[in-house]
Structure 1
């Protein structure tokens, strides 16, 4: 765990440094509230681990890791407004703490800081831009089209959650100067992890204790928001099986990546494999 914690600590330190530079102070308070109130830091951890697994060093990927976390946090601000959810990570959501207008400004501020971190690398900019298009299409289809089949749900999950996971891993591989085939393999891995993560999230909304989860449960049904449990006839147990299938596909994709000698059995690869197994059994 010391290995993993040291990577997260680097991301956390850089994240705080980036946010410390935000002006004016009112905006700085808002973005810090959003980004420093907890969170699993799964996506930035994937970025750093993918970079190391692909032959790079952790420090090569830290800026990209922080950037993808900021994009994710920006999207959560908007999600909470859409869902009228007043709690995020056990603290008031941005809109509940500051109001709707300041929350939207905070989301914009987070995106601005994120793209400043990607701006030095055209390939990174392209990856993140494509992910944000997918994310936006997912948000729009959730609001307007309301998927009614498992296939439609899976498309939505790949756009809303899988896209940012994919970008996180691809950014790590790009930071390591990996070839295109390997960048894509890492992306396929992370997309599968992201979809498994989303399915498990839906199950937790159905069955978890709100205190342990850190946010209200039952929101999918209240908000008529498509979850795999609401859209299909699957039980929570059967939905978990779908998540496990996605996790297996993720591991298959990871095995296709062109990993340098000595890295395939290294700690970064070990943790990437562990992540695919963890997301389907997590309790929060």
Structure 2
């Protein structure tokens, strides 16, 4: 997704001022960080984000109350963006990724130890910024636990002959938990939790499909997932074929094996897109049910998320 596309989405949703405030919070925090880690933090946060998670926070708040976004909620969204970057750093280390969105990953630029310590620094600062809000602290603690469990499960289940339901369970605890947190930060209750969950699973699936298509918009790593035997949505559909499943489950697949798996995943893209359409429809239904303020913002957010794999 280009910076101009991101700016267009922010403008369409009407959150330019809130995103500017959020960025100022993050920039100010980086400027005040210890000199020992400041360069690493500047590198990690200097590239402007797509802001999908903060936009979800703001949209959910407006959808329920149809009122201005409080400064406390903007701060919560900034902390969530910080926690999201922790997950990106860890993902890049696990995937042995050299680049993310055209720039060197943190561990490639600064080394493994600085990247890991910067991650811990971000988490600690996020909790410090939320110290006077027990509601946020509980949500962030639960999020980090769920993300950790999801990452362990995803790696434990590599190269296994699993299916779409298994993929959805992993996606639910990975990206789904992040977007659930967005919704709960916004409303301070669970009324839009299921919407956030569905939006996160949709985002996860669009990321998977975009990787197979070779899209750069989502910043994921399709080649790494294929190499490591990660259960993506297209892979879960492709391995319904016993021959492809056998190749997918091999401990050390050859380049020819990986090529065949890749072709099989490409052939399953229409089925994957259809599955994503169903998730998007469920998310929209949840928005209509539980957003008394302005559900239109949530519907727009679903549409933009769904378009990520179609670019």
Superposed pair shares fold, TM > 0.5: yes
TM-score bracket, shorter-length normalisation: 0.7 to 0.9
C-alpha contact 1:197 1:279 (8 A) present in aligned 2: yes
* Residues 143 and 163 of structure 1: CA distance in aligned 2, closer, same or farther (over 3 Å): same
Match status 1:48 vs 2:58: yes
| 66, 71, 75: which one aligns with 2:78 | 66
2:16 corresponds to: 5
* Residues 41 and 213 of structure 1: CA distance in aligned 2, closer, same or farther (over 3 Å): closer
Q: How many residues align?
A: 267
**Gap runs ≥5 in structure 2:** 1-10, 239-264
1:192 corresponds to: 198
Match status 1:16 vs 2:49: no
Distance 1:7 1:90 in 2: 27
Q: After TM superposition, which residue ranges in structure 1, 4 or more long, deviate above 6 angstroms?
A: none
1:136 corresponds to: 148
Distance 1:199 1:253 in 2: 18
Write the mapping of 1:158-177 to structure 2, written as runs, cut at 5 A: 158-174=172-188
C-alpha contact 2:63 2:297 (8 A) present in aligned 1: no
Alignment root-mean-square deviation, CA: 1.9
C-alpha contact 1:87 1:93 (8 A) present in aligned 2: yes
Following TM superposition, by how much is the alpha carbon of 1:123 offset from its aligned partner in structure 2, in angstroms?
Answer: 1.6
| 207, 211, 233: which one aligns with 2:213 | 207
| 270, 273, 281: which one aligns with 1:237 | 270
Structure index of larger Rg:
2
1:282 corresponds to: 308
**Gap runs ≥5 in structure 1:** 175-182
1:122 corresponds to: 134
When structure 1 is superposed on structure 2, of 1-10 and 114-123 the one drifting more is 1-10
C-alpha contact 1:7 1:45 (8 A) present in aligned 2: no
TM-score, normalised relative to structure 2: 0.80
TM-score, normalised relative to structure 1: 0.87
C-alpha contact 1:44 1:69 (8 A) present in aligned 2: yes
Distance 2:286 2:215 in 1: 33
